[in-house]
Amino acid sequence: MKIIVAQTAPSLGDMDKNFERHLEIIERAGSEKADLLVFPELSLTGYTVKDMTEELALDPNSHPYFERFKALSRDMSLVVGFIEESDRGLFFNSAAYFSGGGITHIHRKVFLPTYGMFEEGKFFARGRRFETFDTPALRTGMMICYDFLHYGAGYLHFSGGAEIIITLSAAPGRGMSDQPGFQSSHMWEHMGETLAYFSSSFVVYCNRVGWEDGKVFAGGSFVFSPTGRLAAKAAYGEEDLLICDIDPEEIRTMHKRRPYRRDNRPDIIAENLERITGRHED
């Protein structure tokens, strides 16, 4: 199975330009015989949308961009980041998975950073679900950026039987490092390695690059295999097209070697979470 991770620099607010860039990359991915092409968080709009949120929001059931993506997904699966407008007039930071000529799944970002340089909670409604779903190749779970850093979210995908976990990101680079990349880049890599190892799943992380509203985005997209091994790594700080061939048989091999999935008890976790969340403080 060939995965391509499109580490791009979206143009803030210029959806037509971003859409055309998507089409260019899809054409190139087609020439590479890709099975799955992943774009970063809010790849159609740029990240710091703020008061443009309503203007840039799309209905995935009817917008022409999505009709085109559906048609193109007959040849390869696509994952695209966008602002979703719900039928209740709410706006979500969302990711759509296109496959077989339709939309297979939409994930709405659950954990919205609203501190320091981040303002998502001011403009977006919060998603509430982490669901796995079947695709032509592998059972899949999706997350968006800050979701990935909450290990409970990864556990939910693990318990849902995910064989590949895809994260779209717009993570700025923060902190100097004596290694290549920012200190913050290594944080994402540690989480990717850990999640891949203990869930025996492929982990695909697509981060954007470029400057926007005074922020520099770090890039450094990656793919980890179910062994916890780094299978592919994109450049830091510049656009890149990361091409990675994966072998789904690795998942079965690691399930045999490691008992984590066999011994998983989500019922016990659920019981304890119910007890914990039932506590009331004066």
Q: For the segment 22-46, what is each residue's pLDDT rounded down to a tens digit?
A: 999 999 999 999 999 999 999 999 9
Task: Mention every residue, 6+ apart, whose C-beta is less than 8 A from residue 138.
Answer: 1, 163, 164, 202, 248, 251
Element (H, E) at 5: strand 2-7
> Which residues are bridge partners to 232 per DSSP?
223
Of 116-120, 142-146, 159-163, where does mean pLDDT reach its minimum? Answer: 116-120
pLDDT at 174: 74
* Rg of the chain on CA atoms, in Å: 18
Are the CB atoms for 165 and 225 separated by under 8 Å? no
Q: Is the pLDDT of residue 216 over 80?
A: yes
> Which residues are bridge partners to 4 per DSSP?
37, 243
Average pLDDT (146-168) is 97
- pTM, two decimals, is 0.95
Are the CB atoms for 181 and 223 separated by under 8 Å? no
* CATH architecture of the region 2-277: 4-Layer Sandwich (3.60)
Quick one: pLDDT band at residue 282, thresholds 50, 70, 90?
A: very low
- Listed in order, strand segments (DSSP E) in 73-173 are 77-85, 91-99, 102-108, 132-134, 139-144, 164-169
In this predicted model, which residue has the larger pLDDT, 206 or 88? 206
- Would you mind telling me the total number of residues written for the chain in this entry? 282
Which two tokens mark 276?
């914990």
> Which residues are bridge partners to 211 per DSSP?
216
CA neighbours closer than 13 Å in the CB half-sphere of residue 278: 6
Q: For the segment 66-105, what is each residue's pLDDT rounded down to a tens digit?
A: 999 999 999 999 999 999 999 888 999 999 999 999 999 9
Rounded Cα gap, residues 102 and 173, in angstroms? 35
Average pLDDT (191-195) is 98
Q: Is the pLDDT of residue 193 over 80?
A: yes
Q: Which of 59-63, 93-97, 175-179 ranks highest by mean pLDDT?
A: 93-97
Closest by CA to 210, choosing from 67, 28, 43, is 43
Of 83-92, 179-188, 201-210, where does mean pLDDT reach its minimum? Answer: 179-188
Residue 276's alpha-carbon distances to 154, 279, 280, in angstroms, are 19, 6, 9
User: In the chain, what's the furthest Cα-to-Cα distance?
Assistant: 62
What does the domain layout of the chain look like in residue ranges? 2-277
Are the CB atoms for 222 and 229 separated by under 8 Å? no
Q: Is the pLDDT of residue 180 over 90?
A: no
Average pLDDT (93-122) is 96
Rounded Cα gap, residues 145 and 90, in angstroms? 20
Q: Is the pLDDT of residue 254 over 70?
A: yes
What does pLDDT average to over the chain? 95
Are the CB atoms for 144 and 42 separated by under 8 Å? no
Rounded Cα gap, residues 6 and 25, in angstroms? 8
Q: What does 251-264 look like in DSSP terms, one character per residue?
A: HHHHHHH--TTTT-
Q: Is the pLDDT of residue 244 over 80?
A: yes
pLDDT at 45: 98
Q: Is the pLDDT of residue 278 over 90?
A: no
With tokens 């190749």, the residue in question is 137
SS (H, E, C) 88-112: CCCEEEEEEEEECCEEEEEEECCCC
